[in-house]
Amino acid sequence: MSEKPLVYIDDLVLNFYTYEGVVQALDKVKFFVKEGETLGVVGETGCGKSMTAFSVLRLVPPPGKIEGGKIFLRKDGKWLDILRQREGYLRRIRGNDISMIFQDPRSALNPVYTVKDQIGEAIKLHRREEICAKIIENYGEGKIKLSNFERKMLEKMKKNPRALSVRFTSKMPLLRGFKKKFDAEVEREVVKLLRDMRIPDPERVAEMYPHELSGGMAQRVVIAIALSCSPKILIADEPTTNLDVTVQLQILTLIRELKEKYNATVHYITHDMGVIAELCDRVVVMYAGNVVEMADVMEIFKNPLHPYTKALLECIPRPGREFKSIEGFVPSLINPPQGCRFNDRCPFRMDICLKEKPDFVKVKEGHFVFCHLYSGSGGSK
């Protein structure tokens, strides 16, 4: 795990324009994800954790609009501001550099296509050149018999799949052999991927339709699609919330294995502190569109600083103790309260909390808090 940040979100502002008013969903959100680490983003419904992830991929649904801030991705040694790129370029990044998996695996899979088709689609989209090159190389070693014509077609396909010659010949009955070889290679890749996901009997599963899969299996397929192009970072939006606890264990074990094997960077969104403790290296806590605390996982559990984090940890039901909850309700984001958004529920509320927004303060190395209680401790981020 290196110290270099891979994704850096800087002062992100996101607003939704609805009939009832402007929902200020994200209010200058700021955090980063380091290469090779698993970052947990935790918070309750409506705090904006999913929307942050969508913003990174620029998939925010209307009537939402990103109104400010920058999102940096480190690609090829350079910083790329995702919010300033063209849509076409972004399509190359989605699935290739940044992948996302969602909460309900069943609805993330298209019910009329087999598993093979869906994973294959992602591969064909992003790894076409690599596959073509692979087939051509193997020709020399006698593994695959390629005619001259087929080799020429594959070269063309590698360079420009939309060329008329390629498209035309791939539909002709006798000439489309090269396309078949390409599909076969893609299928081999799919089976390899499924095996990596610890799916038993991958050849059979590849031919199945999503409705034939159980929840855990479906989620693995979704992860397979997400990882098919070896993205730099995987964003997981509550992938195990809808699953049974034993299946959740299987998926978390899988993610941990992938993390170790491929040094994957994972941005994991959840509301379950137990999963955070299991899986994550660093934690970001969000509330009502703000980041309120960011620290290592050990720090967060041992030494939570922000009142909300403290309250959240207290809320976890423990036997023998009476149940603790946080008084009050999450404020409406259409007219968010002035000053700190947690001020009406905070037991340590001061006067300044009602008027001014706090600063993001570095309390110690790697531990940041967004709270007036710690403003005095100097330092900035």
Partner 1 sequence: MSVSIEVEGLKKYYPIRGGVFRRSVGQVKAVDGVSLSIHKGEIFGVVGESGCGKTTLAKTIIRLLNPNDGSIFFGIPEDVKNTLKRLKSEGKTESSEFKKLRRQWDIATFRGHRLQELRRKMQIVYQDPTTSLNPRMLVKDIVAEPLIVQGIASGRAALDRVVEMLYKVGLTDRHLFRYPHEFSGGQRQRIAVARALISRPQFVVLDEPTSSVDVSVRAQLLNLFLELRRDFDLTYLYISHDLSVVECIAEVVAVMYLGKIVEFAPTRELYEKPLHPYSLALFSAIPVPDPTVKRKRVVLSGDVPSPVNPPAGCRFHTRCDQAMEICKTVEPEFFDVGNGHFVACHLYH
Partner 2 sequence: MQGSKPLGISSFAMLKLATAIIELNISVLLFFLGNPFPTMFPSLDAGLTMLIALLLGVLDLIIAYNLWNGQAFGWIMSTMFLIIDVILRVTLPILFGVMYIAFAILSELDIAIMYYTTRPKVMLFFGGETIREIYEKFKVEMQPQIKELKFTLHLVKKSPLSIVGAAIVLFYVVIAVFAPVLAPPGHLSQGGNPYMMPKYGILLVPQPPSPDHPFGTMEGQYDIYYGCIWGTRTAFRIGLSVVAASLIMGLVIGVISAYYGGWIDEILMRFTDIILAFPGLILCMAFVVVLVPMGMNRLDAVMLALVLVGWPGYARLIRSEVLRVKNEDYVEAAKSVGCSPLRIISRHILPNSIYPIIVSATLDIGTMVLTAAALSFLGLGADPGYADWGWIINLSRNWIYGSPQNPYQYWYTFVYPGVFISFFVLGWNLLGDALRDILDPTLRRK
Write the single-letter amino acid at 50.
S
Any contact of residue 76 with partner 2 (CB under 8 A)?
A: no
Q: Hey, what are 43's tokens?
A: 């918070």
Any contact of residue 250 with partner 1 (CB under 8 A)?
A: yes
Residue placing its CB nearer to partner 1 in the complex, 165 or 253: 253
- For residue 300, the tally of other CB atoms under 10 A from its CB is 27
Any contact of residue 344 with partner 1 (CB under 8 A)?
A: no
Q: In the set 275, 286, 292, 371, which binds partner 1 (CB under 8 A)?
A: 275
Peptide bond into 63 cis (omega under 30): yes
Residue placing its CB nearer to partner 2 in the complex, 25 or 93: 25
Question: Please, are residues 43 and 86 in contact by the beta-carbon 8 Å criterion?
Answer: no
Any contact of residue 19 with partner 1 (CB under 8 A)?
A: no
Any contact of residue 108 with partner 1 (CB under 8 A)?
A: no
Any contact of residue 347 with partner 1 (CB under 8 A)?
A: no
Tell me how far, at minimum, the Cβ of 244 lies from partner 1, in Å: 4
Write the single-letter amino acid at 116.
K
Q: What is the torsional sign of CA 169, 189, 249, 280?
A: negative
Q: Hey, what are 190's tokens?
A: 């799919």
Q: In the set 41, 131, 311, 373, which binds partner 1 (CB under 8 A)?
A: 311
Question: Please, are residues 269 and 50 in contact by the beta-carbon 8 Å criterion?
Answer: yes
Kindly write out the interface string for residues 314-343 of this chain, putting x where it contacts partner 1 by CB under 8 A and - elsewhere. -xxxxx-xxxxxx--xx-------------
Please identify, among the stretches 13-21, 78-86, 257-265, 299-307, the one whose residues bind partner 2 according to the rule CB under 8 A: 13-21
Tell me how far, at minimum, the Cβ of 18 lies from partner 2, in Å: 5
Any contact of residue 323 with partner 2 (CB under 8 A)?
A: no
Q: Which does 20 bind (CB under 5 to 8 A by kind): partner 2, partner 1, none?
A: partner 2
Task: Using CB under 8 A, count the residues that bind partner 2.
Answer: 3
Beta bridge partners of 98: 94, 233
Residue placing its CB nearer to partner 2 in the complex, 63 or 328: 63
Q: In the set 2, 4, 11, 18, which binds partner 2 (CB under 8 A)?
A: 18
Any contact of residue 19 with partner 2 (CB under 8 A)?
A: yes
Please identify, among the stretches 12-20, 101-109, 332-340, 366-374, the one whose residues bind partner 2 according to the rule CB under 8 A: 12-20
Residue placing its CB nearer to partner 2 in the complex, 20 or 201: 20
Any contact of residue 107 with partner 2 (CB under 8 A)?
A: no
Tell me how far, at minimum, the Cβ of 48 lies from partner 2, in Å: 18
Tell me how far, at minimum, the Cβ of 249 lies from partner 2, in Å: 29
Residues that bind partner 1 (CB under 8 A): 44-45, 200, 214-217, 244-250, 252-253, 271-278, 297-298, 301, 311-313, 315-319, 321-326, 329-330
Residues that bind partner 2 (CB under 8 A): 18-20
